[in-house]
Amino acid sequence: MRVLVVEDERRMAAALRRGLQAEGFAVDLAHDGHEGLHMARVGEYDVVVLDIMLPRMSGYNVCKQLRAEENWVPVLMLSAKDGEYDMADGLDLGADDYLTKPFSYVVLVARLRALLRRGGGRRPAVLKAGDLSLDPARRIVLRGEVSIELTPREFALLEFLLRRHDEVVSKSEILEHVWDTYDTDPNVVEVYVGYLRRKIDAPFGRNALQTVRGAGYRLASDGG
């Protein structure tokens, strides 16, 4: 899933990006409020991690502006302020969650996954297509009772396709949400789709991951 991190402390921002990438997220960074607001407006993000004390425009105002524009991307606010009124202000302005610094990285990731389940339509805790299931929190993929080992990139690709099951998604959409760069060769998507098919379909005689010629890929909701 694609995450926008808006954090002016560059070392913390870089650490957040490394950690979230290791969990299979695709991560973009912004270092001030104006930049963060612009990126949140034009990008298709699944969740925004938003610091409150930012140059040029506070996180409070970024969140307030997004909600005024009816942009409902889930927002998790980060702040060194731990007062109950500070937290209430953030939530009242439209944030979905609030985490104080210093924070547990394990808790941050768990809260992001909870926001992903709640925001942007139905997001169940375990994603399923027929007898194919993926548990994002426990990092488990099963075909029936058979465990399937995936690399972090394969896991992220399958998670994205399961969240959009029965929809045709283009290579560019997959690159935007599963890879971190926009200039990656689109053919890498085809390569990883092949890797995934050899693990989730071929050994089981299934055809869940389908190519839609000229359009992209679709994961059948019945598991193939």
- SS3 of residue 27 by DSSP: strand
pLDDT tens per residue, range 22-64: 888 889 999 999 999 999 999 889 999 999 999 999 999 999 8
The per-residue pLDDT for range 79-128, each reduced to its tens digit, is 876 666 677 777 777 888 888 888 888 888 888 888 887 765 444 568 89
34 and 26 Cβ atoms separated by less than 8 Å: no
Q: Which amino acid appears at position 154 of this protein?
A: E
Return the number of other C-beta atoms located less than 10 Å from residue 153's C-beta. Answer: 15
What pLDDT, on the 0 to 100 scale, is given for residue 83? 63
Residue 49 one-letter amino acid:
V
Contacts of 57 (CB under 8 A, 6+ apart): 32, 33, 34, 36, 37
Give the model's pLDDT for residue 123: 45
Give the separation between CA 24 and CA 152, rounded to whole angstroms: 6
Query: How much is the mean pLDDT over the chain?
Result: 87
For residue 182, name the pLDDT band (cuts at 50, 70, 90). low
- Number of helices and strands (H, E) in the chain? 8, 11
Name the least confident of 33-42, 63-72, 208-217: 63-72
